[in-house]
Amino acid sequence: MPSRSVDLPQGTLDLLILRTLSLEPLHGWAVAERIQQISSDVLRVQQGSLYPALHRLERRGWIKARWGTSENNRKAKFYELTRAGRRQLEVQRDAWEKLTAAVTQILETA
Amino acid sequence: MLHDLMFRLRTLFRRPAAENELDDELRFHLERQIAKYVSSGMREEEATRRARLEFGGIDQVKDECREARGISFLETLVQDLRYGARTLLRAPAFTACAVLTLALGIGANTAIFSVVNSVLLNPLPYPNPQELLAARQNDSRPNLKDIQRQTSSFAASGGVNIEPMDFTGNGEPVRIHAAYVDAGLLQTLGVQPMLGRWISDDEDVKGGPGNVVVSYPFWRDFLGSDVHILGKGIRLSGNSYTVIGVMPSDFHLPKEPADVFVSLWVAYPEAAPFRGVHFMHTYWRLKPGVTLAQAQGDIAQVDRRLAEQFPDTEKARGTILIPLHDWLVGNIRPALLILFGAVGLVLLIACANFAMLLMARAVARQRELMIRASLGARNSRLIRQRLTESTLLSLVGGAVGLLVAKLGTMFLIALKPAALHHFHTIPMDARVFAFVFAISLLTGLLFGLLPAWSASRGDVAEALRENQRVTGIGRSRSFLRSFLITAEVALALILLAGAGLLIKGFLRLRSVNPGFNPANVMTMYLQLPATRYPEIPSQTNFRRDLLARINALPGVETAMISDIPLSGNFVDHRVVIDGRPTPAVGTEPEVQTLAVMGDYFRLMQIPIRAGRDFVATDREGQPLVAVVNQAFVSQYLPGQNPIGTRIDWTRTGERHKWMTIIGVAADVKQSGLNQPVDPAIYSLFSQSDEQWRRWMTLVIKSRSPIAELVEDVKKQVWSLDSQIPISDIQSIDDLTAVSVAQQRFNMLLLGIFAALALALAGVGIYGMMAYRVNQRTHEIGVYVALGAQRRDVLRLVMKEGVMLALLGIVLGLAGAIALTRVMVSLLFDVKPTDPPTLIGVALLLGAVALLACYIPARRALGIHPMAALRCE
């Protein structure tokens, strides 16, 4: 395992999933791959937490699922953002930015 | 919110589809991951292995997804129930044992709870029953009226006295219970007649009209449910009464049996105006907002006033009011609560056995549980599955327990304890069902949790390693098992001690000498109607003729007494002794007075200790004579020769009619075997001047069968007067049985509970020992192979069980000494710490425990070392 990967802080997985799906509908495996790729392998999503998180978001109505055909021509379950999900993404993103800004400020000045 | 609910419901209803989709989704992920590794140059097998390893426990991920989708609770429950039912059905012996154990425990509890519910918890069948009070002492009508007038606490008050009356309808004359009441009674109880009306205030006066209100059963059985009965006449004790009302079917007086209700003024004008005749039970209804203490203070003032005003009869007043419900159930409450506690202990023992059964089964299923755990099922999930299973068992146990309880209450009613006299059935209402459901659920959860929790601790790997030879099943579990065994032995000992004490007390009670010989004696009660037998001479003629006629029957001897022993009935008189300074009015000694005719003492085999018995020449016109009992002599004439002493009742404004004591009879229990003997005077019916004492009880001794004799005697009575009802036909043995019925009830029930506890504890120990022997087969085999003797093997195997049983017995003894104190009120002539009883039950329990250890231990002796080693 590459040693430079870090664990996801609590609660950020939802935000990452929502953000990843805001570009295009993806299936679960692709969500994990995309997060890993974009973060240059720093963030690794465990399958054990990915799928429960997807199902939880679906239940809340922020994403919805439909069956489609994958890039390798297999039946796969694609998730896409709903309108409520898009709003939720803004809310969470806002909160995240506030939080990181605050944390950064403390780290640099205190 | 709405979305959430719809989503959950949708998933629930398309469960199989959703499950498939989850499978597909996760499989797709794995395949995709494998493909990725393969394309990066990994070999297929290596890629598969790596992908699977990364993914982790598939079951666990699925579980979490289901949970995330919110299907978990209901879904899992249904799943667990289905799974549980399947596994239970696959182990019928285990299931039957568990269900039976719980059914016995829960059933016994439910039966007792049903009684507690109907006797102690159900409200009285009157409106606003919390306002109703009863006075502990009886009172007279004038006092009742004065108190009602002079106080402000009571909305209403009323009194009742039950007297026998003869109803002569179409067939044989019947003796019925007449309630002599005052008009306020029904207003106090707050009930209205079903038909017609109640006795009004202006009818409840001297010379009032002969009106009667009848009970529903009387109306149904004797008046043919005639809806046009109002205004018609019936004959009661030779007088005509007009029916003015019929009470509702569910109405009864708080304590008294009553077939008809008549005004005391009308039915018994001789007694109604007398202040000193304290013979009415009185009931009181508080005004809203008035407390018991206020009412008590109010009534105490009037009591003082009455005592000053009427010192002759009212000097010793001191009315105590108690809530009606307490008055009615006060006597049975301690017994019922103790029985309820005892049956609770039985349930605890049953639960301990249940928990041990579950534990033994958990061990048998260890492999299955481990496989599920290694597939990723979480601990909490496994515990939950097992809780569902134990709760399922306990609910089935509860359902079967209801059946046991139904049979149990029928049995309780059949025992006919005095306190349950009014109950013909014990209903199972919603509260009883709630009770069963609650204790079943609690039992399943609590006692399922113990073993499930203790089994779930420790990690899988350790369990796997252990599995090959299960010697130490985790320390926590073997501790729990030891604890359960010790606890159930201790509880069983407490129950046995309680039962032992009651049995001993009962035997003591039965062996009390009643003072007479009840063998072959039958009794019957008769009462002469005042209309045809107003004076003593006519009464005496009837009595003498009757005795002569019955004595003429072959092989029959008879005599009569006003009230028979053990009945608790007698007439109290104050007496004065000639030559003694006369005590202040109202403080003269009060003694029981009984009137006899015929050879009563010889027939009942009551020894005459001094002087002589009555003889035929002691009769009217001859000197007045009396026989007293030994208690009378020791209390009032100690150290004197009583023979020749003259006594009389206190009389106001009349010349004394002195009776000479001619003999002293041995003491006889008049009020009950557990009651002391009070001073008593026997006088002669023929010399009496109390024409109101018109009743008598025949005591008839014969060797011929009772049924035949009864008909013969009835014929003789009716040949003298065809209008006289005969009642209370019984043998004196029956009377003895009735007088100990409550003690018998307590003893039988606690005895049954103790036997149940003993059996459950025995089975528990046996089960544990059998299981341990099974577990240690290998160890024992090695032991035998190393040359151990039979004795050594027995000692090795039995040591554990016997030690636990001994510990339980010691703890139980301590518990018994602490707890049996609450039973004092139920015990007759036995101390709650009676050493022989405690030692006896400890030995009994020890013997059962030893046997329960020995049987499995003997099986250990049969273990062949080679076979044992091979069983690896």
* Per-residue pLDDT, B737: 80
Does residue B394 form part of some domain?
A: yes
> Which residue on chain B is closest to A79 by alpha carbon?
B25
CA distance B152 to B284: 12
Q: Is the model's pLDDT at B472 over the cut of 50?
A: no
3-state helix, strand, coil in chain A (%, to 5): 60, 15, 25
Which range has highest mean pLDDT (A67-71, A103-107, B862-866)? Answer: A103-107
Select the more confidently predicted residue: A92 or B654: A92
Concatenating the DSSP letter of every residue in B3-60 gives HHHHHHHHHHHTHHHHHHHHHHHHHHHHHHHHHHHHHTT--HHHHHHHHHHHH--HHH
Same domain, B156 and B242: yes
**Are residues A75 and B24, on separate chains, in Cβ contact within 8 Å?**
yes
Mean pLDDT of all residues in B380-398 = 84
Nearest chain B Cα distance for residue A57, angstroms: 9
Partner-chain residue, chosen from B25, B31, B68, that has the shortest CB–CB distance to A56: B68
Select the more confidently predicted residue: B610 or A39: B610
Partner-chain residue, chosen from B29, B35, B69, that has the shortest CB–CB distance to A55: B69
Partner-chain residue, chosen from A29, A55, A70, that has the shortest CB–CB distance to B33: A29
* Per-residue pLDDT, A53: 87
Partner-chain residue, chosen from A28, A59, A76, that has the shortest CB–CB distance to B70: A59
Structural domain that includes position A96 = 12-109
Q: Is the model's pLDDT at B648 over the cut of 60?
A: yes
* Per-residue pLDDT, B663: 94
> Which residue on chain B is closest to A44 by alpha carbon?
B54
pTM reported for the whole predicted model = 0.69
Same domain, B410 and B439: yes
Which range has highest mean pLDDT (B121-135, B737-751, B767-781)? Answer: B121-135
- What is the pLDDT confidence band of residue B71, given thresholds at 50, 70 and 90? low
Cite the DSSP H helix spans in B176-263.
184-189, 216-222
Per the structure, how many domains does chain B have? 5
In the three-class reduction of DSSP (H, G, I as helix; E, B as strand; rest coil), residue B552 is classed as coil
Contact of B19 with chain A, judged by CB distance below 8 Å, is answered with no
**Are residues A59 and B8, on separate chains, in Cβ contact within 8 Å?**
yes
Residue B203 contacts by C-beta under 8 Å, 6 or more apart in sequence?
B183, B209, B211, B263, B266
Q: Is the model's pLDDT at B464 over the cut of 60?
A: no
Does residue B661 form part of some domain?
A: yes
Q: Is the model's pLDDT at B462 over the cut of 60?
A: no
The mean of the pLDDT values for chain B is 85
Q: Is the model's pLDDT at B776 over the cut of 90?
A: no
Per the structure, how many domains does chain A have? 1
> Which residue on chain A is closest to B63 by alpha carbon?
A52
* Per-residue pLDDT, B479: 82
Dihedral angle over CA of B380, B386, B392, B395, nearest 10: -80
What are residue B156's DSSP bridge partners? Answer: B285
Q: Is the model's pLDDT at A95 over the cut of 60?
A: yes
Contact of B56 with chain A, judged by CB distance below 8 Å, is answered with yes
**Are residues A59 and B7, on separate chains, in Cβ contact within 8 Å?**
yes
Range in B69-83, B237-251, B693-707 the model is least confident about: B69-83
Does residue A3 form part of some domain?
A: no
- Which of B270, B299, B319 corresponds to the end of one domain? B319
Same domain, B202 and B306: yes
Does residue B82 form part of some domain?
A: no
Contact of B375 with chain A, judged by CB distance below 8 Å, is answered with no
Chain A residues lying within 8 Å of B20, measured CB to CB: none
- Per residue in B94-129, pLDDT (tens digit) is 888 889 888 988 998 898 888 888 878 877 889 999
Same domain, B694 and B572: yes
Which amino acid does the sequence have at B152? S
A79 in Cβ contact with A25 (< 8 Å)? yes
Contact of B326 with chain A, judged by CB distance below 8 Å, is answered with no
- What is the pLDDT confidence band of residue B417, given thresholds at 50, 70 and 90? low
- What is the pLDDT confidence band of residue B471, given thresholds at 50, 70 and 90? very low
- Which of B723, B753, B777 corresponds to the end of one domain? B723
Does residue B164 form part of some domain?
A: yes
Residue ranges of E strands in B231-270: 233-236, 239-246, 260-263
Select the more confidently predicted residue: B779 or B188: B188
Structural domain that includes position B108 = 91-125+329-468
- Which of B723, B749, B774 corresponds to the end of one domain? B723
What are residue B522's DSSP bridge partners? Answer: B700, B731
**Are residues A48 and B64, on separate chains, in Cβ contact within 8 Å?**
yes
Q: Is the model's pLDDT at B708 over the cut of 80?
A: no
**Are residues A29 and B7, on separate chains, in Cβ contact within 8 Å?**
no
Backbone phi, psi, residue B830, to 5°: -135, 135
* Per-residue pLDDT, B230: 93
Mean pLDDT of all residues in A24-48 = 85
Same domain, B536 and B573: yes
Mean pLDDT of all residues in B455-468 = 49
Range in B166-170, B685-689, B700-704 the model is least confident about: B166-170
Same domain, B505 and B533: no
**Are residues B24 and A77, on separate chains, in Cβ contact within 8 Å?**
yes
Same domain, B150 and B285: yes
For an interface test with B, give the residue of A51, A54, A67, A74 to mutate (most B CBs within 10 A).
A51
Does residue B523 form part of some domain?
A: no
CA distance B465 to B444: 31
**Are residues A27 and B28, on separate chains, in Cβ contact within 8 Å?**
yes
- Per residue in B650-700, pLDDT (tens digit) is 876 678 889 999 999 999 998 888 888 999 999 999 998 888 888 899 999
Chain B residues lying within 8 Å of A59, measured CB to CB: 4, 7-8, 68-70
> Which residue on chain B is closest to A72 by alpha carbon?
B32
Does residue B822 form part of some domain?
A: yes
Does residue A28 form part of some domain?
A: yes
3-state helix, strand, coil in chain B (%, to 5): 55, 15, 30
- What is the pLDDT confidence band of residue B13, given thresholds at 50, 70 and 90? low
Task: Identify the CA nearest to B573 among candidates B689, B659, B681.
Answer: B681
* Per-residue pLDDT, B2: 65
**Are residues A55 and B28, on separate chains, in Cβ contact within 8 Å?**
no
Mean pLDDT of all residues in B561-587 = 83
How many of the other CB atoms lie within 10 Å of CB of B579?
7
Nearest chain B Cα distance for residue A73, angstroms: 11
CA distance B26 to B831: 74
Chain B residues lying within 8 Å of A29, measured CB to CB: 28-29, 32-33
**Are residues B35 and A72, on separate chains, in Cβ contact within 8 Å?**
yes
Q: Is the model's pLDDT at B481 over the cut of 60?
A: yes
CATH number at residue A19: 1.10.10.10
Q: Is the model's pLDDT at B258 over the cut of 80?
A: yes
Range in A91-95, B600-604, B691-695 the model is least confident about: B691-695
Same domain, B548 and B602: yes
Residue B481 contacts by C-beta under 8 Å, 6 or more apart in sequence?
B356, B359, B768
Chain B residues lying within 8 Å of A47, measured CB to CB: 29, 54-56, 61
Q: What is the ipTM of this complex?
A: 0.85
Does residue B17 form part of some domain?
A: yes
B700 in Cβ contact with B524 (< 8 Å)? yes
Nearest chain B Cα distance for residue A47, angstroms: 6
Among B residues 32-51, those touching chain A with beta carbons less than 8 Å apart: 32-33, 35
> Which residue on chain B is closest to A47 by alpha carbon?
B55
Range in A20-34, A64-78, B313-327, B857-871 the model is least confident about: B857-871
Same domain, B786 and B847: yes
Chain A residues lying within 8 Å of B29, measured CB to CB: 28-29, 47, 51
For an interface test with A, give the residue of B23, B28, B54, B60 to mutate (most A CBs within 10 A).
B28
Nearest chain B Cα distance for residue A88, angstroms: 15
Q: Is the model's pLDDT at A56 over the cut of 90?
A: no
Chain A residues lying within 8 Å of B60, measured CB to CB: 48
**Are residues A77 and B21, on separate chains, in Cβ contact within 8 Å?**
yes
Does residue A7 form part of some domain?
A: no
CA distance B362 to B457: 13
- What is the pLDDT confidence band of residue B473, given thresholds at 50, 70 and 90? very low
- Per residue in B284-311, pLDDT (tens digit) is 999 999 999 999 999 999 999 998 888 7
Does residue A49 form part of some domain?
A: yes
Select the more confidently predicted residue: B659 or B860: B659
Does residue A4 form part of some domain?
A: no
Task: Identify the CA nearest to B670 among candidates B516, B807, B817.
Answer: B516
**Are residues A51 and B60, on separate chains, in Cβ contact within 8 Å?**
no
Same domain, B719 and B737: no
**Is B413 exposed, middle or buried, given 0-12, 13-18 or 19+ CB atoms closer than 10 A?**
middle
Structure tokens at B126: 């009157």
* Per-residue pLDDT, B1: 59
Dihedral angle over CA of B174, B175, B181, B183, nearest 10: 0
Mean pLDDT of all residues in B355-375 = 76
Does residue B428 form part of some domain?
A: yes
* Per-residue pLDDT, B692: 81
Same domain, B179 and B218: yes
Q: Is the model's pLDDT at B193 over the cut of 50?
A: yes
* Per-residue pLDDT, A1: 40
Same domain, B232 and B96: no
